[in-house]
Amino acid sequence: MEIALVGIGKIALDSHVPAINGSPDWTLAATVSRSNTIQGITAYTDFSELLETRTDIRTVSLCMPPAPRFAYAEAAIKAGRHVMLEKPPGGTLSECHTLQAMAQHHGVSLYTTWHSREATMVPNAKAWLATRTLRSVHMEWKEDVRQWHPGQDWIWEPGGMGVFDMGINGLSILTEILCEPIHLKAARLLVPENKQMPIAGSLDFFHPDGADVSVELDWAQKGPPTWAITVETNDGTLQLSQGGAKLALNGEPVALESSDDDAVGEYPRLYQKMAKLVQAGQSDIDLSPMRHVADAFTLGHRETVAPFFD
What is the set of active-site residues? 87
Instruction: Tell which positions 85-114 bind ligand NAP, by CB under 6 A.
Output: 86-87
Residue 132 contacts ligand NAP per CB under 6 A: no
Nearer to ligand NAP, 28 or 211 (CB): 28
Cα dihedral across residues 165, 170, 176, 181: positive or negative: negative
Alpha carbon distance 151, 256 (integer Å): 37
Instruction: Tell which positions 37-66 bind ligand NAP, by CB under 6 A.
Output: 63-66
Provide the H-helix boundaries in 141-287: 145-148, 164-177, 266-280
Residue 33 contacts ligand NAP per CB under 6 A: yes
Nearer to ligand NAP, 148 or 206 (CB): 148
CB of 235 to ligand NAP, least distance (A): 34
Work out the end-to-end distance of the chain between its first and last CA atoms, rounded to an integer number of angstroms: 40
Residue 271 Cα distances to 27, 36, 43, 200, angstroms:
11, 22, 21, 31
Residue 289 contacts ligand NAP per CB under 6 A: no
Cis geometry, peptide bond prior to residue 289 (ω within 30 degrees of 0): no
Instruction: Tell which positions 145-164 bind ligand NAP, by CB under 6 A.
Output: 148-149, 152, 154
Give rounded-to-5 percent helix, strand, coil for the chain.
35, 30, 35
Residue closest to ligand NAP, measured at CB: 9
Site size toward ligand NAP, by CB under 6 A: 23
Binding site for ligand NAP (CB under 6 A): 7-12, 33-36, 63-66, 68, 86-87, 115, 148-149, 152, 154, 165
